[in-house]
Amino acid sequence: MRLSDRSLLSELVVPVLIGLLAFLLMLVGNTLYQLLDRMMSEKWPVAYVARILLFNIPTVLVRTLPIAAAVGASLATSRLARDSELTALRAAGVSLRRAFAPLVFIGLALSGAGIYLFENVVPWVWEQQRDVQSVLTNLPENAIETATMIPIESYVFSFARAEGKRDNSGRKTFVVYDATILERGSGAPPRITTAARGSYRQQQFNFDNVAVHAYKPDRSVDYELTARSEEISVSLEKINGYGMPSDEQLENLSSAKLMERARTERDPRRAVVYAVARWRKLGLPLMCLPLALFAVPLAIRFARAGTFAALMLALVIVFLAVLALTGAEVVALNRWLPPFVAAIAPAVLFTVAALWFLRKLE
Radius of gyration of the chain (CA): 26
pLDDT of amino acid 93:
75
**Co-location of 109 and 37 in the same domain:** yes
Considering the domain architecture, whether residues 147 and 111 belong to the same structural domain is answered as no
Assess contact for 277 and 244: CB atoms under 8 A: no
Q: What span, in angstroms and rounded, lies between the C-alpha atoms of 85 and 195? A: 76
- pLDDT for 44 equals 81
Residue 236 pLDDT: 55
Between the alpha carbon of residue 49 and those of residues 39, 63, 133, the distances in Å are 8, 21, 9
The reported pLDDT for the residue numbered 233 is 66
Give yes or no: residues 168 and 182 share one domain.
Answer: yes
Do 173 and 165 meet the contact criterion of CB atoms below 8 Å apart? yes
Rounded to two decimals, what is the model's pTM?
0.72
State the Cα–Cα distance between residues 52 and 141, nearest whole angstrom: 16
Shared domain for 122 and 148, answered yes or no, is no
Distance CA 305, CA 316 (A): 15
Beta pairing, strands 172-183 & 191-200: antiparallel
One domain for residues 19 and 62: yes
* 62 and 95, same domain (yes or no): yes
Q: Per DSSP, what are the bridge partners of residue 161?
A: 177
Residue 75: closest CA among 132, 29, 15, 33: 15
Domain count, the chain: 2
Task: Answer with the one of 211, 237, 263 that is the final residue of a domain.
Answer: 237
> How many CB atoms neighbour CB 306 within 10 A?
12
Single residue among 208, 237, 266 that ends a domain in this structure? 237
Per-residue pLDDT of the chain (362 residues; tens, 9 = 90+): 577 677 778 888 888 998 899 999 998 988 888 888 878 887 888 888 888 899 999 999 999 999 999 999 999 888 888 887 777 877 777 777 788 888 889 999 999 999 999 999 999 998 888 778 766 765 455 556 555 667 776 778 888 887 777 666 666 677 888 888 888 765 667 788 888 888 887 667 888 888 888 888 777 777 778 877 777 766 554 444 445 667 778 888 889 888 888 887 777 888 899 999 999 999 999 999 999 999 998 898 888 888 888 889 899 999 999 999 999 999 999 999 999 999 999 999 999 999 998 888 87
**Residue 202 zone, left/alpha/beta (φ > 0; ψ -120 to 50; rest):** left
Residue 258 lies in a domain: no
Dist CA 296 CA 310 (whole Å): 10
Residue 70 lies inside a defined structural domain of this protein: yes
